[in-house]
Structure 1
Amino acid sequence: MPPSHDDPGSPLLLDVLRVVGGGIARRLTPDSREDVPVGRVTILDPLEPELAAGDILLAVGVDARADAFAALRSAADEAGVAALVVGVGDPRGVAGAESSLAGAPDGGPGVYLRAPWVSWSDTAAAFRMALRGARTQLEAPETGIELGDLDAVAELIAARVRGSVTIEDLDSQVLAYSSTGGDVDARRREAILRRRVPPERVRELLRSGFLQWLSSTTEVVHRPAGEGEPERLVIAVRAAGEMIGSIWVADLRGDVEEASAALRDSANLAVPHLLYASALRAGRLHDATAAVHELLSGEVPPAEAASRAGLTADAAAGVLRIGLADGTRLAGARTRLAERLGALAGHYGCRVSTIADAGEVTAVLSGFRDIDAAGTGLWSMAQSLGDGPGSREMPLVIGVGEAAPSLHTLAASAESAAAAFAALRWEGRSGAARLDEVAEGAALHHIHRLLRGAQPPVATPVDRLRAHDAEHGSDLTRTLDEYLAAFGNVTATAAALNYHPNSLRYRLNRIQEISGIRLDDPDSRLLAQLQLRLMPPA
C-alpha cells in the first residue's frame, strides 16, 4: 500500500521537490503527478531491486535512453514508486533522454533528470534532506508560526526566556534573531550585522573548549559575565540526537534558572523550523549553482539563469577561476574564499555567484557599470584575493577572464579565465594573471593536452634513453633535459647538475651512443624537447 495522505510522516512529492529546488534534478515527464505521498529516498540495486510504494528511486547507472529503462519504469509504476531520478552520463545526451520519454506511454512515476554537474552522492543527500525537511512541516508543533520562519521562532523563545535570542547553524552563521532594545552588547551587534559570528571569535570559542562542550551536552550552558565576556545562555538544537544548530540568549532580564528551564523547554520548537530552513537553503544553493552552470554552458537564456543565480543579466560581467597553487583541493578554504569574494563584490558594486568544480572555484561577477569597469574590477579583485589574508600560507592561482559586455557573452570570459588558470598551474606560479600575460604557458599547456596519450609510431631517441635509464638505474634522461634547457651550454649544464664539464661531455657522448640522438641536428633536438617537456612516458 502507498503511504497514506493521512499519515503525518508522509509528505507529498511536490513538497519534497519544492525544498530540493531545481538545481538537483528537473522533470522530464511534464504530465506525471506530483501530489503523491513519499515514504523514503532509496538507491536502485539492479541485482536486488527493492521497489516500494512512495519511493523516490535514484536509478544510478540506468540511462533513460536505454531499453532497460522502460522495463524499470513499468516495474516502478506497478510498485507505486513516487519518482524515478536518472542520469545520462554525458550532458549531450539530455536531448536523447527527453525524446525517448516523449514516446513513452502515459502514466507511471515521474522521471527526473539529475543535473550532470551534481554527483549521485550529493543528489541522494539533497533528496534525503528535503524529505526530512518536508516531513517536519507535518510534524511541527502548533505554534501558529509558518514552517521555516526562524525569526518568529526567535521572537517566541525570547519572550519565554526574557532575553535576546540568536539562532545559529553549525557554521556559526546567524540564521535568525529576536528584536532587541537599544542596549545591545557589542558581540551580539557585530554577529547580527555580519549575519555570522566573526571568525576570530569562533577561534576563541574553539580554543577555550566552549564549542566542544556545547556540542557534547544536551543541557543549557550558562556562561557568566566576566573579563570582557558578556553573559550568555546557550543550548544545542538536536534532531534525532544530531546537533543541527544552537540558540544563544543575551541581555537576560530575569532569573538565570528560570530562563534556563524555559530555554530547555523551548529548544525543540526550533527543530522542525531549523531542519526545514536548512533544506530550503540547500535547495536554493543547488538551484543557484545549477543556474551558474547553465550560464557558462549557454543551455538557457541568460536572463532566466541570472535571476536564479542572483546576477544581473544585461550588465558588464566576467569570470575568475581560483584554486590553490599546490594543486590540492580548496575544501575548507572555500567558505572563507566565498566570504572574501562577497566582500570584494560589495566594495566594487557588483554581484557574485560561485561554483566548485574539481576542487577549484569559478566565480561569475556581474553588475559592473560598463566593460571598462568590469576589466578593472576583475583585475583588482583578483589581486586582492591573491594578496589577502592567508595568501602566504595558502597561495592562490587566479585566472582572470576577459571582461564581457553582459552575461550573454560570458562563455568567452570563462574560457579565457580557465586558460589563464591552467597556464599559471603549468608554469608553477601563484598569483593572478590574464591570458595574454601567460600566452606561452597557455600555448604549451594546450599543446600538452593535444599530445596527451599520443606516442610516436616508432621508438625515438628519448624512448631508448628512458628505457636504458629504467633498466640500469641511470639518469641520462635528466642530463639530456638539462642540456637542452641550457641551449647546449656545457658550462651551465655542468653547474646545474654539479658535474665537471669533462664528465658532462662523457655523458653526452654516452647519450648519443645509447639513444642515437644527433645533438647537432635542430629537428632531433626539437623532437627530444617536445617529448621531454610535453609527452610523459607511456
Structure 2
Amino acid sequence: MPAHEPDRNDAWPSLEQLLGLIAPGMLDVVVAPRGTGVEVADVVLHDPGEERDDDGAWAAPGAILLAVGVEVASPDAIDVLRDAERAGAAAVVLRRGSRGPRTALVEAAGRGRTALLTRRPGQRWAEVLGQLRTALVHSAPARSAGVDRTAGTAGSDGAAGSDGSDGLRLGDLSGLANTVADLVGGAITIEDPQSRVLAYSRMDHEPDPMRRLTILGQEVPRWRVVELRESGFFQALWGTDDVVRRPADERSAERLAIAVRHGSEVLGSIWAAADGRPLAEDAAAALRTAARAAVPHLFHHRTWGRAATGAREDAVHALLKGSVRAAHDLGVVPGRRYAVLVAEAHDSEDSGAAFAAGQRVLDVLALRAAAYRPGCVTARSGRRLYVLVPAGDGETDPARALPATVRSVPRSVVFAGVGPVVADLSALPASREAAELVVRVLRERAATLPAAEVVSAVAGYAEVGADAALLRLLDGVEPLWESLAGPVHAMVEHDRVHGSQYGDSVAAHLDAFGDTARAAQRLGVHPNTLRYRLRRARDLFGVDLADPTVRLLADIGLRLARRTAEDGPAGRSR
C-alpha cells in the first residue's frame, strides 16, 4: 500500500457510488486496476505546483484528481498519472478530446493502483467538480452527522427517524421543508444566503403577514432584510452553529432560525415559524438536526439546480429559434398548439436598482407562468422573459391573462407581446418574432409619454399590426438609408451637431397632417416659431414639405433618427 493511501473508513463512499450519483455520461472509466469499489475521500484539482515532500510527491490520499487542461492523448498524461499514483489518489480524470488514450497510458494505468477516468466532451470542469463534491457530501458525512444517507433527514439522534423507505430524493428541498415542519410543529422556510426562498412547507393555517410577503415575493422583503441586519440578527445567525430565536412582533409570529453550513461555508438557513400553535418543545433540537440534513440538499441545489435551470433555459431558447429536437427535454408535445409570450421589464432610468427591480418583476412573472397552466415553460434573456404557453382546443389567445398578474407587483411596468397560436413546433420562431415586434411597438409608444403615464401593457400581434409592419419596413430600409445622403440627412446631422430642432419641427408638422396650430401646441412653441423653423429647413437643407416625395423621405428619415436616438441598435435587438 502506498504511504499516502488512507486507512479504510466506512464513512467514505466508493468510486462506484459517486459515479452513480452524478449525471449519467459525465465521466467514463478507462482503467480501474482495483475496481470501482475503491473509497473516495475528497475531490481536488491536480496542481503541478502543489507543495511536495522530500521525495517530490504530494499527498492526496483517496482523492479524485481533476487534471484540468490535460487531454488523455497528451504526452503529459503519463506524468499526471504517475503524480496521482505517488499522491495515493483513488482516481484521476483527464479530458478525453477527439482521440483516445495512448496505449502507453492505458498500460501504465493497468500496472498501477489509480483509476483512470475521462471527462466527456461538452462537460465543463466546474460542473464535474461541483457534482462530484455534491455526491461526496451526500454520501460521506451521513453517518457522522446522524443523518440517514438515503433519506437526507434526521437519523440516529432520535429527532427524526428513517422509516426504512428511500426517504427524500437528493435536492428535494420542499420535501425536506415538510418533514422538518412536522418535527417542529410550525411552518418552515428554507432560504439561500441572500434571503431568497428556496422552499417552504405546506400551509395548514393562514400564514402571518411576513411569511405571506416572503412566499409571494419569493424572497424576504428588502426592508425586513435591512431590519434584521441592523438589529444584529444576521450577525448572530451566521456566527453560530446553534439556533437563534426572534420573538414575535405585530407582523410575525415567533421565529427560530439556524444557518446551514459546510465547514466555514454558509449554504443557507432554515426558519421555523409558529403556525397556528406554539412550536414543539424540541423544535430547536429538530432544527439542529435539520441543518445537518440540509447540507447535501443545498449543495445539490446550488450545483445541479443551477446547471439544470441553465440547460432548460438553453433548450427553450433553442426551441424558439427552430430546434424542434429540444422539445423532448422540455416536455413540449409535438402536435399541440402553442403561443409565445414575450415580456419586457421597463424602467424610466438606467441604473442598477432599476435593473434589479426589473429582474424581480420577471421572477414574479416566471413564477406565475409556472402556475398559470400545466405545460408552460419559461426562459430569461436580459430584461426579457419568454413564455411558451399551451393552447386549448379552439383557444386563440391562451396567454392573454398572464401578464396582468404582474400588476400586483408595486411600481412595476411590463410590456408583453403575444404571438399567434401555432400548430407546428417548427413555427414557434415566427410566433416569437411576432411577440417581440409587439413589445417593440409598446415600448415605442411608451417613449412618447411622460414617465408618470407609462403603465404595463399587453397586446397581440393583430392589435398592433400596422405599427408592427412599419417596424419591419424600417428595419429593412435602415441599412439602405444609412448609405444614402440628401436633404433629410443634412438636417438630422445639423440637429445632432448644433442641438437645433428642425427635425422635431418637421416631424410634428407631418404627424399633425400640416395643422400648424396643433403641431406647435405639441412642441410647446408659438405657431409663428414653427412656421419660421419650417422655412429655415427648406432654405438651409432643401426640405420642402410642399413636395410629396420630400415629405415621404422626411417621414422615413426622421422615424429612423428617433428610433436610433431612443433605443440604439442594441435596444432594437433586445
TM-score, normalised with respect to structure 1? 0.69
Matches within 5 A, 1:43-192: 54-56=66-68, 74=74, 77=77, 82=93, 104-107=98-101, 109-110=118-119, 112-113=121-122, 129-142=130-143, 143-146=147-150, 148=170, 163=185, 166=188, 168-170=190-192, 173=197, 175=199, 186-187=206-207
Q: 1:141 to 1:207 in 2, by over 3 A?
A: closer
Q: Within 1, Cα distance between the matches of 2:68 and 2:405?
A: 42
* Contact persistence 1:302–1:313 (CA under 8 A): no
- State the secondary structure of the residue aligned to 1:403: coil
Shift of 1:271: 1.8
- C-alpha RMSD of matched pairs (Å): 4.8
Q: 1:355 to 1:266 in 2, by over 3 A?
A: closer
In structure 1, stretches of 5+ residues that fail to align are 43-51, 60-70, 86-100, 115-122
Shift of 1:232: 3.8
With a CA cutoff of 8 Å and minimum separation of 6, indicate the structure with the bigger relative contact order. 1
Matches within 5 A, 1:444-459: 444-459=470-485
1:340 corresponds to which of 368, 371, 376: 368
Corresponding residue number in structure 1 for 2:423:
405
Matches within 5 A, 1:216-231: 216-217=235-236, 218=240, 219-224=242-247, 230-231=253-254
Shift of 1:139: 3.5
Shift of 1:435: 1.0
- The answer on 1:236 being equivalent to 2:259 is yes
Q: Within 2, Cα distance between the matches of 1:442 and 1:358?
A: 22
Shift of 1:439: 1.5
* Contact persistence 2:13–2:140 (CA under 8 A): no
Q: 1:463 to 1:127 in 2, by over 3 A?
A: farther
Q: More deviation in 262-271 or 480-489? A: 262-271
Q: Within 2, Cα distance between the matches of 1:13 and 1:449?
A: 57
Corresponding residue number in structure 2 for 1:464:
490
Could you tell me which amino acid in structure 2 is paired with residue 39 of structure 1? V
Q: More deviation in 288-297 or 31-40? A: 31-40
Any idea what the Cα deviations from partners look like across 1:451-488, whole Å, max 9, x if unmatched? Answer: 44545555311222234345544332322222233333
2:304 corresponds to which of 258, 265, 280: 280
Corresponding residue number in structure 2 for 1:514:
540
Q: Within 1, Cα distance between the matches of 2:545 and 2:438?
A: 34
Q: More deviation in 410-419 or 227-236? A: 227-236
Q: 1:507 to 1:135 in 2, by over 3 A?
A: same
- State the secondary structure of the residue aligned to 1:363: strand
* Contact persistence 1:302–1:407 (CA under 8 A): no
Any idea what the Cα deviations from partners look like across 1:83-108, whole Å, max 9, x if unmatched? Answer: 659xxxxxxxxxxxxxxx8xx43338
Could you tell me which amino acid in structure 2 is paired with residue 276 of structure 1? H
- State the secondary structure of the residue aligned to 1:332: helix
Q: Within 1, Cα distance between the matches of 2:14 and 2:45?
A: 10
Corresponding residue number in structure 2 for 1:532:
558
Matches within 5 A, 1:351-430: 351-366=375-390, 368-370=391-393, 372-373=394-395, 375-382=396-403, 384-385=404-405, 388-390=407-409, 393-405=411-423, 407=425, 409-428=427-446, 430=456
- State the secondary structure of the residue aligned to 2:416: strand
* Contact persistence 2:197–2:218 (CA under 8 A): no
Q: 1:454 to 1:16 in 2, by over 3 A?
A: farther
* Contact persistence 2:213–2:220 (CA under 8 A): no
Shift of 1:321: 0.5
Any idea what the Cα deviations from partners look like across 1:108-142, whole Å, max 9, x if unmatched? Answer: 8545348xxxxxxxx78766644542342344231
TM-score, normalised with respect to structure 2? 0.65
2:281 corresponds to which of 234, 254, 260: 254
In structure 2, stretches of 5+ residues that fail to align are 48-63, 82-91, 103-117, 153-169, 349-353, 448-455, 569-574
Corresponding residue number in structure 2 for 1:39:
44
Q: 1:295 to 1:305 in 2, by over 3 A?
A: farther
Q: Within 1, Cα distance between the matches of 2:458 and 2:559?
A: 24
Could you tell me which amino acid in structure 2 is paired with residue 332 of structure 1? R
Q: Within 1, Cα distance between the matches of 2:31 and 2:333?
A: 35
Corresponding residue number in structure 2 for 1:289:
313
Q: 1:486 to 1:225 in 2, by over 3 A?
A: closer
Corresponding residue number in structure 1 for 2:338:
317
Q: Within 1, Cα distance between the matches of 2:321 and 2:95?
A: 26
* Contact persistence 1:205–1:211 (CA under 8 A): no
* Contact persistence 2:315–2:330 (CA under 8 A): yes
Could you tell me which amino acid in structure 2 is paired with residue 365 of structure 1? V
- State the secondary structure of the residue aligned to 1:530: helix
Any idea what the Cα deviations from partners look like across 1:376-428, whole Å, max 9, x if unmatched? Answer: 4322334x336x3137x212111111112364643332232222222222333
* Contact persistence 2:416–2:458 (CA under 8 A): yes
Any idea what the Cα deviations from partners look like across 1:62-90, whole Å, max 9, x if unmatched? Answer: xxxxxxxxx997478565784659xxxxx
Could you tell me which amino acid in structure 2 is paired with residue 292 of structure 1? V
* Contact persistence 2:316–2:378 (CA under 8 A): yes
* Contact persistence 1:323–1:396 (CA under 8 A): yes
- The answer on 1:488 being equivalent to 2:514 is yes
